[in-house]
Chains A and B, each alone.
Chain A
Amino acid sequence: MKRIFAYLLPVLALTAVLSAPIPAAAQAGDTQAEPATESPPESASEPAKPSLSALLTRLGDASFDEKAAIVDEIAASGDPQAVPLLRALSGGNLYVRASDGLAAVSKGEEGSETYTSLTGDPVEAEGLEKVRVNNMLRRKVTAAVSRLGLLSPKADVRLTSARAAFLEHDEEMLPLVEEALAKETDSGVKTALQQVRAAIALTSSGVTDDAVVAAIDVIKDRGDEDARNLIKPFTESENAKIKAAAVRAANAINTSLGYWAAAQNAWYGLSLGSVLLLAAVGLAITMGVMGVINMAHGEMVMLGAYTTYVVQDVMHSIAPALDTVSLVVAVPMAFLVAGLAGVAIERSIIRFLYGRPLETLLATWGLSLVLQQTVRTIFGPTNKTVISPSWMSGAFEIGHLTVTYNRLWIIIFSLAVLGLMMALLRYTRFGLQTRAVTQNRRMAAAMGIRTDLVDAMTFGFGSGIAGIAGVALSQLDNVSPNLGQSYIIDSFMVVVFGGVGNLWGTLVGSMTLGIANKFLEPYAGAVLGKIFVLVFIILFIQRRPRGLFALKGRALEG
């Protein structure tokens, strides 16, 4: 029983890494436009070898020994398309019809299977006969799958196969690994293969002490959880030399894993921080520069997210080819929508309430309820999906650090937005006027600045930035009428913590809170971590009531 599992494992691992599940490969016709399985003539272009489907057809009435030979032949063909078919064979899902030699793969529950031919067409169950397998054959298949992977012409396939082989480190794979190692030219794959060899050395009997020490050293460099588990038994070894090497290696791995875990937390923290930064930076303008407490700020974010949804929908119906850039189009649109909404709010409500911060707070809270309900009435209460464009999905790895593209883009985006805002406030005429009105309203008016216009524009600007934040958040979070509410308290915390009216403070505040949140989470859990952060801010405000970087805003102190 154990043995079967041991052989199934690499198969499963390969299923995962090759990301070509059996049905997809079987329906190669429409999902995978790979020529190799589409029709026999393709393989026939290599006249020396029989085609894959011809080999499979022969499996039908062959004896187990003949089948083993055929599997060996398939393995030798080096055709990567054979992998899913071999797996179907090993799983007992491969069928052959004796009359016309048609091979088919079954899927679905026993008793209600459906059959598809190699070209992906549905096949009648009539006359199909299961290709019988035994354990010997399964072993052969496993070896063949490993072989196809490790000797694949593609370096990335070889790498994933080598990684899977490391987890399995089966003694019987040693000759194959040696063979692959001898041929290997890519240094990354070579290292991976050496680690496989070392792992096999550690787990098989009859290996010299020196070889074990050398293997431990090779595996140490992997520095991950699997390497630690492999080395762990040797830290109890009776051989002093091996024990010393193993303990040294285990400690080194622990230290490096600790650093990587910290780095991963910091990355998550930066990512959360950049989201907070986006949500809070518009607030920093309206609250910090204008002294307006806008509780409807979160709803400006929500408006931006819904704008993204609408833009995507409209562009999809007009020009489906431009789907990948709809997010780019959504940025200025969201800025406009939220910005215009902001100007309208300022002109109709907030301008009557300047100098009355508590009343502003209540009125804008009421406004947020109205906006939420309006959106809920128009779009319905259910979540809307905004599809990530291809250049934002996926991930890459730096060492043991997984970096997803959407998080990376959002960090870059948030910093760009912050930089743009700072430049705008610093170098443009609009920025100059805004700062003048902030510092001394009457003097600015006396100099000929239309202060009420500046007020409306500044508020619209802050709201527009919130709309842009909504575009980014639509990539991470559900687009729902409550989207804004979940960020508003955190955003206020960031602005209060960083110091009202200072964009640097907002940057430092959001990143600090983001990272603090993520570092507390593993120890305290997500909810408790959040509570700690809130309590910390409440205590922090006691010490520095004006935030980290204090600046004087306009009549904010009520």
Chain B
Amino acid sequence: MTPAVRTALFGGASIWLLGLIAALAVIVPAMNLLMPPDSAFHLSAFAVTLIGKYLCYALLALSVDLIWGYCGILSLCHGAFFGLGGYAMGMYLMREIGDRGVYGNPDLPDFMVFLNWKELPWYWYGFDNFGFAMLMAVVAPGLLALVFGALAFRSRVTGVYFSIITQALTFALMLAFFRNDMGFGGNNGMTDFKDILGFSVQSDGTRCAIFVITAIMLAAGFLVCRAVVHSKLGKILISIRDAESRTRFVGYRVEHYKLFVWVLSACIAGVAGALYVPQVGIINPSEFEPANSIEAVIAVAVGGRGTLVGGIIGGVLVNAVKTFFTGTLPDFWLFALGAMFILVTLFLPKGVIGLFKKTGGIGVKLPGLGKLASGAAKEAKP
């Protein structure tokens, strides 16, 4: 029951996971680049980017797990942080096109020429530089999360209220990015990318390199989250999740802890988005749809909330199932997704991980995470 025990119990699984990610990072590119195309072991470029996409979703699910599983904050706007990171990468890739666009304008992206814009808007300055763009992929979602979180946590907006206004936030962002005047390509978003750091985004080598980087970032994200939840800070986060008022009365500045982990989680989601865009080759406002954020949440619930490994597994699993259904039985996907939501919340509160690990995992021994979260609320009432 003590946190120390949980840490020890959790050591094994994470080593397995890191090993699996490392193996993927080696085997997938090797099967694509080294095997001849007619070999049974050859992996097509499509499959490489598909697996890479799953890893991006896993990183997104990891960030949701960090905030929901360990701090009890249900965010319905992580898709927006993901999208903002993606837009930062998309803006860099647009600048990389240079004068190779349809209109051949060296100074402006195609959609601005199309809208008769004469000058590059100020917020596009600096995106020619890869380093700056990557910094923005982390800073932009982080900054939004900082402002939003500071306002919300300071006035103690919690629980369902917080979830609903995060949903309103991503909805507002979606409406905003749909506008042409915003200068982010409006409805169509950004696409037709040519190259990244001088390497063609279409070539197999670049795809494999991006895949390896994605795997490395997933592992790094996992390690960062693991370091956070296993530190003293992480224990305070769990106590906030389980009994927020009590933690506050003990003397911790609850909102500071929440804000830190909230911003960290948003930054990780931003990184996931930035890695996602060069692999799928497009970014548009539909990334901000509330449904996307909720899909990330359900991935965490499926995998196993409150276990970082579970978040990653859920992210891959849900999206793999999605690919399967949308490919073979498109009409059935929404049924499957909806059923997943209902069945997991009713019968599988510990997720897939809970099936395999009867004991262990942080908080699993406690009588249901949700009950505790609301237990904290009851406490708050006089």
A531 to B171, CA, bound (A): 9
Question: Which residue of chain B lies nearest to A495 when distances are taken between CB atoms in the complex?
Answer: B164
A366 touches B370 (CB 8 A): no
Question: B335 at interface (Cβ–Cβ under 8 A)?
Answer: yes
B168 touches A359 (CB 8 A): no
CB-CB under 8 A from B152, the residues of chain A are 541-542
Question: A125 at interface (Cβ–Cβ under 8 A)?
Answer: no
A496 touches B370 (CB 8 A): no
A541 touches B345 (CB 8 A): no
Task: For residue B357, give the distance in angstroms from its CB to the closest CB of chain A.
Answer: 20
Question: A344 at interface (Cβ–Cβ under 8 A)?
Answer: no
CB-CB under 8 A from A376, the residues of chain B are 331
How would you classify the secondary structure of chain B's contact residues: helix, strand, loop or mixed? helix
Given A362-B297, A373-B331, also A356-B159 (CB < 8 A): no
Question: Which residue of chain B lies nearest to A558 when distances are taken between CB atoms in the complex?
Answer: B159
B378 touches A555 (CB 8 A): yes
CB-CB under 8 A from B31, the residues of chain A are none
A530 touches B175 (CB 8 A): yes
A146 to B154, CA, bound (A): 71
CB-CB under 8 A from A538, the residues of chain B are 148, 151, 165, 168-169, 172
**Stretch in contact with the other chain, from A236-244, A347-355, A427-435:** A347-355
A542 to B340, CA, bound (A): 34
B172 touches A535 (CB 8 A): yes
B164 touches A496 (CB 8 A): yes
Question: A413 at interface (Cβ–Cβ under 8 A)?
Answer: no
Q: Digit string of A519-558 for contact with B (CB within 8 Å is 1, else 0)? A: 0000000011011001101110111010000001001111
Given A496-B161, A534-B171, A543-B155, also A555-B341 (CB < 8 A): no
A370 to B332, CA, bound (A): 10
A369 touches B338 (CB 8 A): yes
CB-CB under 8 A from B378, the residues of chain A are 555
Task: For residue A308, give the distance in angstroms from its CB to the closest CB of chain B.
Answer: 23
B334 touches A370 (CB 8 A): yes
A557 touches B167 (CB 8 A): no
CB-CB under 8 A from A557, the residues of chain B are 158-159, 161, 377, 380-381
B165 touches A369 (CB 8 A): no
Q: Digit string of B51-65 for contact with A (CB within 8 Å is 1, else 0)? A: 000000000000000
B167 touches A362 (CB 8 A): no
Question: A293 at interface (Cβ–Cβ under 8 A)?
Answer: yes
CB-CB under 8 A from A530, the residues of chain B are 172, 175
CB-CB under 8 A from B377, the residues of chain A are 555-558
Question: Which residue of chain B lies nearest to A296 when distances are taken between CB atoms in the complex?
Answer: B338
CB-CB under 8 A from B371, the residues of chain A are 355-356
A541 touches B159 (CB 8 A): no
A366 to B163, CA, bound (A): 16
CB-CB under 8 A from B338, the residues of chain A are 366-371, 373
B172 touches A361 (CB 8 A): no
* Residue in B338, B378, B381 whose Cβ sees the most chain A Cβ within 10 Å: B338
CB-CB under 8 A from B373, the residues of chain A are 356, 358, 558
CB-CB under 8 A from B167, the residues of chain A are 489, 492
How would you classify the secondary structure of chain A's contact residues: helix, strand, loop or mixed? helix
Q: Digit string of B287-311 for contact with A (CB within 8 Å is 1, else 0)? A: 0001000100110010000000000
Q: Of residues 486 to 538 in A, which have CB atoms within 8 Å of B's CB atoms?
A: 489, 492-493, 496, 527-528, 530-531, 534-535, 537-538
CB-CB under 8 A from A496, the residues of chain B are 161, 164-165
A371 to B371, CA, bound (A): 27
A360 to B344, CA, bound (A): 11
Question: A223 at interface (Cβ–Cβ under 8 A)?
Answer: no
How many B residues are at the interface, by size bracket? Answer: 35 or more
Question: A363 at interface (Cβ–Cβ under 8 A)?
Answer: yes
A358 touches B370 (CB 8 A): yes
CB-CB under 8 A from A269, the residues of chain B are none
Question: B157 at interface (Cβ–Cβ under 8 A)?
Answer: yes
CB-CB under 8 A from A539, the residues of chain B are 151
Question: A377 at interface (Cβ–Cβ under 8 A)?
Answer: yes
A537 touches B168 (CB 8 A): yes
* Residue in B148, B155, B164 whose Cβ sees the most chain A Cβ within 10 Å: B164
Question: Which residue of chain B lies nearest to A356 when distances are taken between CB atoms in the complex?
Answer: B370
CB-CB under 8 A from B179, the residues of chain A are 527-528
Given A361-B74, A373-B338, also A492-B164 (CB < 8 A): yes
A377 touches B331 (CB 8 A): yes
A357 to B374, CA, bound (A): 8
Q: Of residues 238 to 252 in B, which have CB atoms within 8 Å of A's CB atoms?
A: none
Question: Which residue of chain A lies nearest to B380 when distances are taken between CB atoms in the complex?
Answer: A557
Question: Which residue of chain B lies nearest to A360 when distances are taken between CB atoms in the complex?
Answer: B345
Question: B92 at interface (Cβ–Cβ under 8 A)?
Answer: no
CB-CB under 8 A from B171, the residues of chain A are 489, 534
Q: Digit string of B307-342 for contact with A (CB within 8 Å is 1, else 0)? A: 000000000000000000000000100110111111
Question: B160 at interface (Cβ–Cβ under 8 A)?
Answer: yes
A349 to B341, CA, bound (A): 11
Question: B176 at interface (Cβ–Cβ under 8 A)?
Answer: yes
Question: Which residue of chain A lies nearest to B155 when distances are taken between CB atoms in the complex?
Answer: A542
Question: B156 at interface (Cβ–Cβ under 8 A)?
Answer: yes
CB-CB under 8 A from A527, the residues of chain B are 175-176, 178-179
A427 to B98, CA, bound (A): 71
Question: B15 at interface (Cβ–Cβ under 8 A)?
Answer: no
Give the residue of A293, A352, A377 whose beta carbon is less than 8 angstroms from that of B160.
A293
Question: A372 at interface (Cβ–Cβ under 8 A)?
Answer: yes
CB-CB under 8 A from B148, the residues of chain A are 538
Task: For residue B185, give the distance in angstroms from its CB to the closest CB of chain A.
Answer: 15
Question: B346 at interface (Cβ–Cβ under 8 A)?
Answer: yes
CB-CB under 8 A from A555, the residues of chain B are 374, 377-378
B175 touches A362 (CB 8 A): no
Q: Of residues 109 to 142 in A, which have CB atoms within 8 Å of B's CB atoms?
A: none
Given A373-B335, A377-B331, A537-B168, also A361-B160 (CB < 8 A): yes
CB-CB under 8 A from A377, the residues of chain B are 331
A1 to B222, CA, bound (A): 79
B339 touches A370 (CB 8 A): yes
Question: Which residue of chain A lies nearest to B340 when distances are taken between CB atoms in the complex?
Answer: A366
Question: A365 at interface (Cβ–Cβ under 8 A)?
Answer: yes
* Residue in A293, A367, A557 whose Cβ sees the most chain B Cβ within 10 Å: A557
Given A496-B164, A545-B161, A552-B381, also A363-B342 (CB < 8 A): yes
CB-CB under 8 A from B172, the residues of chain A are 530-531, 534-535, 538
B341 touches A369 (CB 8 A): yes
A365 to B346, CA, bound (A): 13
Give the residue of A349, A361, A558 whose beta carbon is less than 8 angstroms from that of B158.
A558
CB-CB under 8 A from A357, the residues of chain B are 159-160, 370, 374
B157 touches A545 (CB 8 A): yes
Q: Digit string of B339-382 for contact with A (CB within 8 Å is 1, else 0)? A: 11110111001000000000000000000101101101110110
Which residues of chain B have a CB within 8 Å of any CB of chain A? 74, 148, 151-152, 154-161, 163-165, 167-169, 171-172, 175-176, 178-179, 290, 294, 297-298, 301, 331, 334-335, 337-342, 344-346, 349, 368, 370-371, 373-374, 376-378, 380-381
Chosen A-B contacts, 12 in total, with CB atoms closer than 8 Å, are A293-B164, A349-B346, A355-B374, A370-B339, A373-B331, A373-B335, A496-B161, A528-B179, A538-B168, A541-B161, A557-B161, A558-B159
Please provide the 7 A-B residue pairs with the shortest distance between their CB atoms, ordered closest to farther.
A366-B341, A558-B159, A356-B370, A370-B338, A369-B338, A373-B334, A366-B338
Further 9 A-B residue pairs, CB within 8 A, beyond A545-B161, A557-B159: A293-B160, A356-B371, A361-B163, A496-B164, A527-B175, A527-B178, A538-B172, A558-B373, A558-B377
